[in-house]
Amino acid sequence: MMTDQELIDLCSADKERGFAQLMRTFREPIYWHIRRMVVSHSDAEDVFQEVWVNVYRYIGRFEGASSLKTWLYRIATNEALRFIDKAAAHRHESESELLLGKLEASEYVDFDNEVLIRLQKAIIGLPDKQRLVFNMRYYDDLSYEEISAITGSSVQTLKTNYHYAKEKIKDCILNG
Amino acid sequence: MKESFDLEKYERKTPFRLPDNFFDDAQLKIAVRLRTEARRRRTLRLTAGALAAAAAVAAVLMIATIGPADMPADLTWGDLQAQTGWQLNEAEQLRAEQAMQTLSYEELTEMVASADYSYFCY
């Protein structure tokens, strides 16, 4: 796997080739991060496209203040949050109502796996900040420092949010 | 029972699935979109140049027809800018002149007639 600096150098030398390599390197974690946030595959695909178009536009402005991974996660997080806000406002629903509806109506979901469906519903029921930190910590295994660089929240706030998120999910799974 | 439940011991999976070849297909779609957008931007730049040229011709015609009597006979871009307030740099002037040569008189007058004057003052 290429280092951040190698990827940046490649983008500077040949933008299209560098971008293609950058995308191949990060496309899967970025897609899954978006998918966990917006739930439906078709919405995730739309957001995924917007994210990479923005990355292509702004890759020249990447200054290396953070890692490429956290920079990409930040763009993806902002784009997914903007999408959810807009969709929820358009349908006059809370984010949880919107995402629950998306889950139930979605293609490309394994509805036979009841345990995973229950877990997913519990995650969707979390307040947005807790949902975000839970997904990044539990599934992406990002450190609190990385999540802090992505969200702009303090490490202590993130730890508290993650703790409460886990408690609520436990409660939801055990008590329905 | 709540005490015995440990989320950390769950398999960290989601119920989400993907269409076959999604990532390669998505990467291709994005590459096509970026190329299409780049082509569209180039076309827009050329159109803006052509519109500027059209405006220039319209201004020449207007000044020649109804302009002040003391307008110099050999009208230059500098005179034109002073008359119209346009801010065209050298590259834009060159592009406008080149674009003018590619348009017929009918095309130029039609573009001027259908465009808002302020559009040209970019």
Domain boundaries, chain B: 49-120
Q: How big is the A-B interface in CB pairs under 8 Å?
A: 71
Confidence of residue B1 (pLDDT cuts 50, 70, 90): very low
Selection from A3, A47, A89 nearest residue B26 by Cα = A47
Partner-chain contact A110 B27, CB within 8 Å: no
Partner-chain contact A27 B27, CB within 8 Å: yes
From residue A20, give the alpha-carbon distance in Å to each of A14, A149, B1: 10, 25, 50
Partner-chain contact A49 B18, CB within 8 Å: no
Q: Is the pLDDT of residue B112 over 70?
A: no
A111 and A118 Cβ atoms separated by less than 8 Å = no
pLDDT at B121: 31
Partner-chain contact B15 A111, CB within 8 Å: yes
Measured between CA atoms, how close is B15 to chain A, in angstroms?
5
Instruction: Tell me the residue type at B70.
Output: D
Instruction: Measure the N-to-C terminal CA separation of chain B; round to a whole number of Å.
Output: 70
Question: Per residue in B13-59, pLDDT tens?
Answer: 999 999 999 999 999 999 999 999 888 887 877 777 777 777 777 76
Q: Tokens 């059209």 identify what position?
A: B54
Question: Per residue in A57-88, pLDDT tens?
Answer: 999 889 888 999 999 999 999 999 999 999 99
Rounded average pLDDT over B47-74:
64
Interface test with chain A among B3, B14, B20, B40, by most A beta carbons within 10 Å? B14
Confidence of residue B9 (pLDDT cuts 50, 70, 90): confident
- Alpha-carbon span B47 to A166, nearest angstrom: 57
Confidence of residue B98 (pLDDT cuts 50, 70, 90): low
Confidence of residue B69 (pLDDT cuts 50, 70, 90): low
Instruction: Tell me the residue type at A13.
Output: A
What's the sign of the alpha-carbon dihedral A150, A156, A159, A162? negative
- Alpha-carbon span A147 to A157, nearest angstrom: 11
Q: Is the pLDDT of residue A154 over 90?
A: yes
Distance of CA A60 to the CA centre of its chain: 23
Mind giving me the DSSP string for A124-172? Answer: HTS-HHHHHHHIIIIIS---HHHHHHHH---HHHHHHHHHHHHHHHHHH
Q: Is the pLDDT of residue B104 over 70?
A: no
Q: Is the pLDDT of residue B74 over 60?
A: no
- Alpha-carbon span A90 to A93, nearest angstrom: 8
From residue A106, give the alpha-carbon distance in Å to each of A16, A79, A86, B21, B22: 34, 20, 19, 19, 16
Q: What percent of chain B has pLDDT over 90?
A: 18
A134 and A160 Cβ atoms separated by less than 8 Å = no
Domains and CATH numbers, chain A: 1-95 (1.10.1740.10), 110-176 (1.10.10.10)
Question: Per residue in A91-150, pLDDT tens?
Answer: 888 888 999 999 999 889 999 999 899 999 999 999 999 999 999 999 999 999 999 999
Q: Report the predicted TM-score, pTM, of the whole model to 2 decimal places.
A: 0.73
